[in-house]
Structure 1
Amino acid sequence: MSQLRVAVFASGQGTNFQALADAVRDQKLDVTIELLVCDKPSAPVIERARLAGVDTFVFKPKDYPSREAYESEIVAELERRGVELIVLAGYMRIVTSALVEPFYGRMINIHPSLLPAFPGVNGIGQAFEYGVKLTGVTVHYVDGGLDSGPIIAQRTVEVAQDDTEASLAERIHATEQTLLPWVVAQIAAGRVALDGRRVTIG
């Protein structure tokens, strides 16, 4: 059985990309990372990809007339490389049907809250300001809505009384970096089934 061909989309530091690349390097994750897609030419994740030997597709959204225009170009590149799974790992752009439709059920996102609570930007800050006692991390399929796709897996993170937003964020990011490689490994092993909004892992 051939290895699952994965593309990672990221916009910033790339710590979740690094977690995936490290898991592949350490033979804990049996996939190939075919491509990093990044919308910010100065993002640190690009250097992480270079050091990991992963090709990059870097673009500036303002160079295109629409989101659909650059997403169509990305889809063509993904199809050319035979990519089977897209992992949105800190990709800070809304995706359109141009990307979602050809990859529905084959595109996942990681979000730093227990969805459906606190979707959108700054999920950690939203949860902290709200005063929740329990938050966490969600990996879900992408359906074109705002963090609204079927949930694959979640991990909880307790909010301590003496937490700051920064200390909470540190634990949430550490949780992301273990949960995301685990989910990708389950998908690569064929253990994840999607039926409507229900996802089973077995």
Structure 2
Amino acid sequence: MVKIAIFASGSGTNFDNIMKKIASGALKHIEVTGLYTDKPDASCVALAREHQVEVYAYEPKHYASKKAFEAAICQQLKQDQVEWIVLAGFMRLIGETLLQAYENRILNIHPSLLPKYKGKHAVEQALNSGETMTGTTVHFVDAGMDTGKVIAQRQCPIYPDDCVSELEQRIKTLEYELYPEVIQKIIQ
């Protein structure tokens, strides 16, 4: 079994999907040691409890620096013998402390075809761009915002009458297929 930690800040839909894939046997030889969040009231916390996954909440405001914040997280990751970190809607840039501890062992999924539309409002940017295609990207995490080496991408159309929520759902459908496939391939 490969031990992974999942980091999330919001709804937790990708976390939930990964847990369901593990439970169904579609994602094999993966053990999720915990859900790490910077938002103790986020919906992902309730999902973690439903899946009986330990929740580790670390609020940056309780630490003197980003380095101290990440050092506390690293201590727990080491205690749990975590081998990989999987970001699933974690809305915070990973810093040097975690990057050094988990070099080339942090994955992220982003709702655009990187290198286009980095950051928080990628779906809106794609929708307002006039383009007819967008999608999702799984990549390794580096010190930049959505700048790490691309591992895999999937595309979907942008329709002229799309609204943000419709396009987000189309992209999420791709993410729910792609992310577990990449996790299985890369981590095994």
TM-score where L is the length of structure 2: 0.97
What's the CA shift for 1:132? 1.2
1:200 counterpart residue number = none
Task: Spell out structure 1 runs of 4+ moving beyond 2 A.
Answer: none
Residue 32 of structure 1 aligns with an amino acid whose one-letter code is: E
The aligned counterpart of 1:167 is: 166
Aligned to 1:66: 65
Give the AA of the match of 1:142. Answer: V
1:21 corresponds, among 15, 19, 22, to 19
Q: Shift of residue 95 of structure 1?
A: 1.2
Q: Structure 2 CA distance, aligned partners of 1:56 and 1:142?
A: 22
- AA aligned to 1:154 is Q
Give the Å deviation of 1:178.
1.3
Name the SS of the counterpart of 2:139 in structure 1. strand
1:165 Cα shift?
1.6
Q: Give ranges in structure 1 of 5+ residues lacking alignment.
A: 190-202
Structure-2 separation of matches of 1:41 and 1:102: 24
Structure 2: segments with no counterpart, 5+ residues: none
Q: Per-residue deviation at 1:188?
A: 3.0
Written as runs of structure 1 = structure 2, the 5 A alignment for 1:1-202 is 3-30=1-28, 31-189=30-188
- Separation of aligned partners in 1, 2:2 and 2:157: 34
Cα RMSD (Å): 0.9
Deviation of residue 119 (structure 1)? 0.5
Distance apart, 1:131 and its partner CA: 1.5
The one-letter code sitting in structure 1 at the alignment partner of 2:88 is A
Deviations 1:62-91 (A, max 9, x none): 111111111011011111111111001100
**Counterpart residue type for residue 128 of structure 1:** L
State the identity as a percent: 39
SS at match of 2:112: coil
Normalised TM-score (structure 1): 0.90
CA distance in 2, matches of 1:131, 1:177: 26
Displacement of 1:187 in angstroms is 1.8
Q: Deviations over 1:107-145 (max 9, x none)?
A: 011100000000111110111111111100000000111
Distance 2:58 2:86 in 1: 17
